[in-house]
Structure 1
Amino acid sequence: MTTRPLLDELNDRSREVFRRVVEAYLQTGEPVGSRTLTRDMTEKVSAATIRNVMQDLEYLGLLDAPHISAGRRPTQQGLRLFVDGLMEVDPVAPTDRARIEETMGDSGDVTALLDRVGGALSSLTHGASLVLTPKHEAPLRHIEFVSLAADRALVVLVFSDGHVENRLFTPPPGQTPSSMREAGNFLNALAEGRTLSELREQIVREISHRRQELDSLAAVMIEQGLATWESDDSDARLIVRGRANLIGEETADIDRIRELFDDLERKRDIAQFLDLTEGGDGVRIFIGSENKLFSLSGSSLVVSPYMNSDRKIIGAVGVIGPTRLNYGRIVPIVDYTAQLVGRVLSGLKG
């Protein structure tokens, strides 16, 4: 979406009125009246003149009025125009930079490091932070299936470096303890010394060759487990911190916010979250319904990928909050955090 042609339609006065309305709204969350603007305008103009300009901006779809007698506030289109063409991005403040850098200490445990990063982002931005961690690519040592209920099972993955992951999946109807043991034995015979990616490729070959040797339920269960590994990003983990910052918003739709975080906790949309970072290096901003993942909550997302030493995207960090985020401050914070995480994780792998 490009807003440049619309920006070119605005003269200097219209741009200043529009910019001041947006900046005041982002700071206070309240509609802005014409009398308020008369005190700050570069040129001395009457409130009636400013009202006329605001009406023109409303006609263009950049502002709206929540009530007939109220001031104006930016629309989603208006916020996009501001972010794309008029926003002034502040440098990362030294205190913010120091807070982010503090999270990088004692970085042997990647998950703990990224959890601290999420906590710092949430604290600094007063939004909810989202951190997508990299896939774990150490060789496997052991795999075990555990039945939790008729429709839920757990696969326990033990890696050679001591890392352990527990993943829920839906087993086939009628699975039995013996079929689960058979599936585990089958996988363990193949797993040792292989990463998950390598194991997946091997299992696909083995199942096609040995399907007749396997109990049918065990074969289906292995495939069900495979389905959780099939996606390139499915064994990544999404860390969410600071959700109370969203639920505490006076203007937030509580049910929608809860639905958003229910979806995140179920991790149905992890791949979508990483998809949002496609399109190259750097920060991306999604406002309201522009973002299919969080559109129901009416939230904005500022997200940036982080990369390994080969310049491959391996994860992402982001901040989600109301559409009146302080974009000029949050964008450089997210950008700096992503770059720093990428450098630290590249050093750990080196």
Structure 2
Amino acid sequence: MATSGPNLPELPNERAQHLLKVLVQRYIKEGQPVGSRTLARDSGLDLSPATIRNVLSDLEELGFVKAPHTSAGRVPTIKGYRFFVDTLVKLRPPQGDELKLVQEVLQSAEPQSLVQTASNLLSSMTQLAGLVTLPRRVHTALRQIEFLPLSDRRVLAILVLNDRDVQNRILHVHRDFSADELQRAGNYLTEQFGGRELHTVRESVLAELRETRASMNDLMVDAIEMAQQAFPEQEPEGAFVMAGETNLMGLEGLADMEKLKRLFTAFSEQRDILHLLDQSLHAPGVQIFIGQESGYQLLDECSVVAAPYLNDDDTMGVLGVIGPTRMAYERVIPIVDLTAKQLATALKSRN
């Protein structure tokens, strides 16, 4: 598992590590400071509360736990969560019906709704906010464009992309064209724009029309105008879709309405969240940002669990969840990992 925290000093001994693990698990489950008597009961170790208090003091001195002012118990710090995630957590991957659900939902989704479906899955399975960046298309190159005549001033545009992908679009034109005219228009556009990345072709077409229209013959102008319809408008690079933002309302650390408003504004503006997700684009697996590790004050009370999704060897985007630092990491991490792999499989099958 790839993580993004600092190198941590070793804990004094295995006993202290075990007690920290039990403390973090108990705090994640209950949300209340954990005292020495609770640890003595839950740890399975034959230790007195007094001995456990001494161990907790050592952990506090090392910065792994802290004592809230109103309680004699301890809660994990960001450093404590980081050590737990990196070293102590035992992951619980989805099994049986849950695994089958992820596979079936993504495989049956319409191509245009795959990203939203993945975001909805992440949100519903974790009860946190799920987000998925739109697939990047930097490796989608135009090989050829052909036009075929249809009835009622319509033309079928056939875009051949890379080696296997073919996209069809029906264009509405101002007059009927002969098959010969359409063949010459397709040959002209293939010669001018073949080999270019698809997301740049539309802008190139518009530039061509602006700069050389006066010197074009009528068929060339018609070809360029048909190309404007045939090539998709460029999507905002790296934009993402979210689901389940309202799951964050009322969660510990995120209940303050002003804080939630600022967080939802960041979701809407996308820039800072995208910058954070970009750090996971080339990670070898799941990337985890806990509290201040994100570098964004708005996320100081949050954790982000993210992973890249691929199409063959090409990184297409990033997906993940945002929730409180007190999240069930043992469950959330495998869900993010599984969804990234299954989204990659679904994308590949669409090719």
Give the TM-score taking structure 1 as reference length.
0.71
Whichever residue aligns with residue 118 of structure 1, its letter is: S
In structure 2, the partner of 1:275 is 278
In structure 1, the partner of 2:343 is 341
Give distance in 2, aligned partners of 1:48 and 1:69.
17
Q: 1:82 aligns with which of 81, 84, 98?
A: 84
Whichever residue aligns with residue 28 of structure 1, its letter is: E
Q: Which has the higher contact order (CA 8 A, sep 6+)?
A: 2
CA offset at residue 90 of structure 1?
Answer: 1.8
- Tell me the alpha carbon deviations over residues 85-124 of structure 1, each in whole angstroms, 9 at most, x when there is no partner: 11111222223212212322433x3331221221121111
Contact 1:302-1:320 at 8 Å conserved across structures: yes
Give distance in 2, aligned partners of 1:266 and 1:319.
17
CA offset at residue 5 of structure 1?
Answer: 5.0
Q: 1:82 to 1:270 in 2, by over 3 A?
A: closer
Q: 1:326 aligns with which of 321, 325, 328?
A: 328
Give distance in 1, aligned partners of 2:236 and 2:12.
46
Give the secondary structure class of the aligned counterpart of 1:104.
helix
- Tell me the alpha carbon deviations over residues 242-265 of structure 1, each in whole angstroms, 9 at most, x when there is no partner: 011101314313322222222222
Whichever residue aligns with residue 121 of structure 1, its letter is: L
Q: Which moved more, 1:17-26 or 1:68-77?
A: 68-77
Give the secondary structure class of the aligned counterpart of 2:12.
coil
Contact 1:4-1:85 at 8 Å conserved across structures: no
Give the secondary structure class of the aligned counterpart of 1:6.
coil
Percent identity over the alignment? 34
Contact 1:305-1:314 at 8 Å conserved across structures: yes
Alignment: residue pair count: 282
In structure 1, the partner of 2:132 is 131
> Is the counterpart of residue 300 in structure 1 residue 303 in structure 2?
yes
Contact 2:133-2:240 at 8 Å conserved across structures: yes
Q: 1:281 to 1:250 in 2, by over 3 A?
A: closer
Within 5 Å, give how 1:165-204 maps onto structure 2. 195-200=198-203
> Is the counterpart of residue 287 in structure 1 residue 290 in structure 2?
yes
Q: 1:269 to 1:237 in 2, by over 3 A?
A: same
* Structure 2 unpaired stretches of 5+: 146-158, 160-166, 171-191, 213-232
Q: 1:270 to 1:86 in 2, by over 3 A?
A: closer
* Structure 1 unpaired stretches of 5+: 142-158, 164-189, 211-227
Q: 1:162 to 1:26 in 2, by over 3 A?
A: farther
Give the TM-score taking structure 2 as reference length.
0.71
